[in-house]
Structure 1
Amino acid sequence: MAWGGLCLSTAAAQDSDSLRIDLNTALEIALSENPNVKVADMEITKKEYARKSAYGALFPQFDLIGQYQRAIKRQTVYFDEGFGMGGGAIDPTKYTPEELKIMETVGKMFAPDPESAGEGIQMGRLNVYTAGLNVSMPLVVPSLWKNIQMSRVDIQLAMEKARSSRIDLTNQVKKSFYSLLLAQDSYDVFKKTYATDSLNLENIRDRFKQGVVAEYDVITADVRLKSLIPSILQSENMMKIAELQLKMLMGIDSEIPLKVVGSLDNYRKAMFDTIIPADTSLLNNSDIKQFDLQADMAKKGYEMQKSQFAPTLVSSFNYMYMSQNNDFKFSTYRWDPYSMLGVTLSIPLFNGGQRYHNMKQSEIQLYQLKEQRKDVERGLKLSIKNNWDLMAKSMEQVVASESAVEQARKGYQITQKRYETGMGTIVEVNAAALAITNAELQYRNAIYDYLAAKADLEKTLGYDIQATN
């Protein structure tokens, strides 16, 4: 009795400081505090920024450019007679007097010296500085448009993954909560049995002292009582493990005392009142939705690879200042501006077959996703059928175990009366007590199996997040 009293006093002290929660509270805390859910929500935000980045590629790009070049060896330019324009004399009838005068002056400046005609003239200066603004903007770039479409689907995929993480977490929290209830109920069953057998042992000892029963009965009752201790310790350990798992899923500190409200008996009536929708079309299943979105992305990726064969048109504008000098006297530098405006038309012709092979890879990816979806869909339909069958079987077991518990209790009362009148044996009493314990454990296990199968079915069907009992 001392051991049982210690357990009861310790449990009472813990309950007074424990965080009391039911299933709805556990789900609310988990969905707001679980790190996996937070990461999934942040992934949506990240994809939103990626979409904005894709749109940004359609806007003009402005770049400030600064460049310095130091000539190690300046370029040498050679001039032939007549500046490479065929040599010979200039026809004066083709030019005005002003043009002839300019040509004569330039000719004197650059006319090669017969003695050094092969040496050439070095052009430019040692230091070249360039600074200015460069602007470019895509006009017709089909691959950018496809990339924007892919970013939109990517956001939808991130949102579906976030929904999937919530559905998975809801399933895990429910099953963990039910596991804790099962461990708690099992512990209560063993504790109640221990208390009953302790009283029974005291009665047998009193009757032995009176000489009514043999010492064998005392020994048997004492062995029966002590044999319950390992089961109690094991169920208590299972409670701690289930509690730690639930705390982890809820995202709370493991040191916080936790006490679940209720027992599996509270779900007994709901088992037969709950109506499970017959829609098993997998329209809301998250795995199927993710496959469809991935297939949509792969299709757009294939279209983007095809768009690599299309021409692109890009406009550009730059306004630059340049200065060329042989020294570093910056205050005396002369800066000369120049600017250009243009468009660039690029028509892909051949790049070693890269575009073609990339497109074929996208085609294969589409086929792979199609076949994988079929396999996943078959597995999900099998899971639905198994869960339905397990729920139906569990309901039958609950009804049968309820009757078994009543019959076991009635049988125990009869054997007790028989034993007290000397018509029965202690072995019959122990067997009847063990039958009650087993029947009650089977009853609670059947309820747990039903609830776990129902949670798995809801996950497979992709039910929206809700705290259903």
Structure 2
Amino acid sequence: MNFKLAILSLIIFLNGYWITEARAQETPFTLEESVSYALENNAEARNARLEIEAARGLVGERTAEGLPQINANLNATKNLVVPITPFPAVFLDPEAQEGEFIGVQFSPEFTAGLTATVSQMIFNGSYFIGLKAAKTYRQLAEVDRKLTELEVIENVKKAYYSVLVSGEREALVKANLSRIDTLLKETKILYEEGFAEKIDVSRIQVQHNNIQTELDKAKTATLVSMRLLKFQMGMPQSQEITLVDTITGLESLLDAERLLVEEGEQRVEIDQVNTNYDLATLDLKNNQIQYMPRLDANYTFQRNAFGGNFSNLWSGDWFTGSVIGVTLQIPIFDGFTKRYKIQQNRVQLRQLEVQKESVLQNIVIEKFQSRQNLINSLKALDVQRENRDLALEVFDMAKIKYQEGVGSNLEVVEADSALKEAETNYFSALYDAFIAKVDLEKALGILK
């Protein structure tokens, strides 16, 4: 007996230990912590940061084009067949006839050469514009990163709320199943004692089965919502997490009065259009400055060697030569290529102006629509909260009447269905209010 008690105690202890360990491996996350984690680990956010690094590299590349360019070449060649060069025969034989030529080999069999070239840009208008364009492109990458992070914040918040609502719905179905299960047991006892009919038991059994099916669906919805949240956060699906916040606890964040009078800040989309406009302007200037000449300085140093065999090639004499000079490239006519490029640039600038006007108008509409959606969502939330309280009151009254024998179980079943629907509608309305709040914050440019 003592041995069996010891084994049972050990099993209980191990089960408790395993449960504690499993819970310890679960990482708790608040809404703010989920957003912070996503900004560091979400794939889109990480790519946006990498794009900034690439833009910095582009700035360095454009800067390097204005620095001295140094190249060195070392070559060695062997003439498999030494070319024959025609040479007037009269130079070798005064008695040779006029116009007579003989073949002479001027090229050695082996040649080697070492050449070093240094070139330095002196003036190139495109260089300075290109350098400024690269810096502007880096600014565009920063703006794109902000826009991407806003989308990540929006998606994570909505996914977080979805998990909370799905969890509440699952809890509601479980509570409803528990109520029906208790009612079913009580009705079966009444039926066995002759105080209830078989149809009463069957009716509640049908309700019980339907709720069990709804519970399975609710569990699946919670699981899918959690996986979606992990995906938006950039978290491995194998990582177990728990959500610290609750949907009712976050209800205090619905600061509608402040949001409804908030004017907002300049949207990132406007910064994006403005930066694109700056880039298009620089492209226009770059094409215009192509009409100006380009001046480069260059210096070449070379050493050459010749030999009849490969070994003598490197041990023989090397002949030195050097050249210094400047190159002035003057554009004269390119078939109107630059002219048509400038024409396209000007059209692109007008298109960006139209796009900016459209974005501004769209933002005004988004603000108005988001405000109205939040107002309607809050009104619907108040109504559904009242309906939930009333449905709970009706259910309690119907259950008391049934237990006292002055009501039917049909009233209880109907009241339970109404309560379940009212509770579901309440949390759906609460979820819609949170989504409307996020949409309005995004429209106002204050989402964070």
TM-score, normalised via structure 1 length: 0.83
Is 409-418 or 296-305 further displaced after alignment? 409-418
Structure 1 counterpart of 2:329: 346
Residue 172 (structure 2) pairs with residue 189 (structure 1): yes
Q: Name stretches of at least 5 consecutive residues in structure 2 with no aligned partner.
A: 1-15
- Cα deviation for residue 282 of structure 1 reads 5.8
SS state at 2:99 partner: coil
Q: CA RMSD in A?
A: 2.7
Structure 2 counterpart of 1:131: 114
- Cα deviation for residue 32 of structure 1 reads 2.0
Is 425-434 or 110-119 further displaced after alignment? 110-119
Corresponding letter in the other structure for 1:398: L
Residue 94 (structure 2) pairs with residue 113 (structure 1): yes
Structure 1 counterpart of 2:445: 462
Mapped to 2, the partners of 1:128 and 1:351 lie a distance apart of 41
Residue 280 (structure 2) pairs with residue 298 (structure 1): yes
Alignment check: 8 A CA contact 2:264 2:446 kept: no
- Cα deviation for residue 340 of structure 1 reads 1.4
Residue 289 (structure 2) pairs with residue 289 (structure 1): no
- Aligned ranges for residues 124-163 of structure 1 at < 5 Å? 124-126=106-108, 127-163=110-146
Alignment check: 8 A CA contact 1:267 1:447 kept: no
Structure 1 counterpart of 2:83: 73
Alignment check: 8 A CA contact 1:132 1:321 kept: yes
SS state at 2:113 partner: strand
- Aligned ranges for residues 30-429 of structure 1 at < 5 Å? 30-68=38-76, 72-76=82-86, 113=94, 115-119=96-100, 124-126=106-108, 127-272=110-255, 275-276=258-259, 278=261, 280=263, 283=266, 285-328=267-310, 329-331=312-314, 333-429=316-412
Alignment check: 8 A CA contact 2:184 2:204 kept: yes
Corresponding letter in the other structure for 2:96: E
Mapped to 1, the partners of 2:84 and 2:359 lie a distance apart of 69
Structure index of larger Rg: 1
- Cα deviation for residue 175 of structure 1 reads 0.5
Mapped to 1, the partners of 2:114 and 2:89 lie a distance apart of 32
Alignment check: 8 A CA contact 1:167 1:463 kept: no
Corresponding letter in the other structure for 2:53: T
CA gap of 1:20–1:281, structure 2 versus 1, over 3 A, is closer
Mapped to 2, the partners of 1:387 and 1:74 lie a distance apart of 87
Structure 1 counterpart of 2:7: none
Structure 2 counterpart of 1:89: none
CA deviation profile, 1:304-350 (whole Å, cap 9, x unmatched): 11111111100111111123445432255322211111111111011
CA gap of 1:40–1:151, structure 2 versus 1, over 3 A, is same
SS state at 1:159 partner: helix
Mapped to 1, the partners of 2:60 and 2:447 lie a distance apart of 29
CA gap of 1:49–1:272, structure 2 versus 1, over 3 A, is closer
Corresponding letter in the other structure for 1:29: Y
CA gap of 1:78–1:29, structure 2 versus 1, over 3 A, is same
Mapped to 1, the partners of 2:314 and 2:252 lie a distance apart of 94
Structure 1 counterpart of 2:3: none
The correspondence for 2:418, drawn from 418, 422, 435, is: 435
Q: Name stretches of at least 5 consecutive residues in structure 1 with no aligned partner.
A: 1-8, 81-109
Mapped to 1, the partners of 2:249 and 2:229 lie a distance apart of 20
- Cα deviation for residue 185 of structure 1 reads 0.4
Is 189-198 or 175-184 further displaced after alignment? 189-198
Mapped to 1, the partners of 2:286 and 2:334 lie a distance apart of 17
Mapped to 2, the partners of 1:352 and 1:68 lie a distance apart of 42
TM-score, normalised via structure 2 length: 0.87
Is 287-296 or 226-235 further displaced after alignment? 287-296
Is 431-440 or 67-76 further displaced after alignment? 67-76
CA gap of 1:346–1:331, structure 2 versus 1, over 3 A, is closer
CA deviation profile, 1:44-103 (whole Å, cap 9, x unmatched): 1121111011111111111112244566535546699xxxxxxxxxxxxxxxxxxxxxxx
Alignment check: 8 A CA contact 1:125 1:326 kept: no
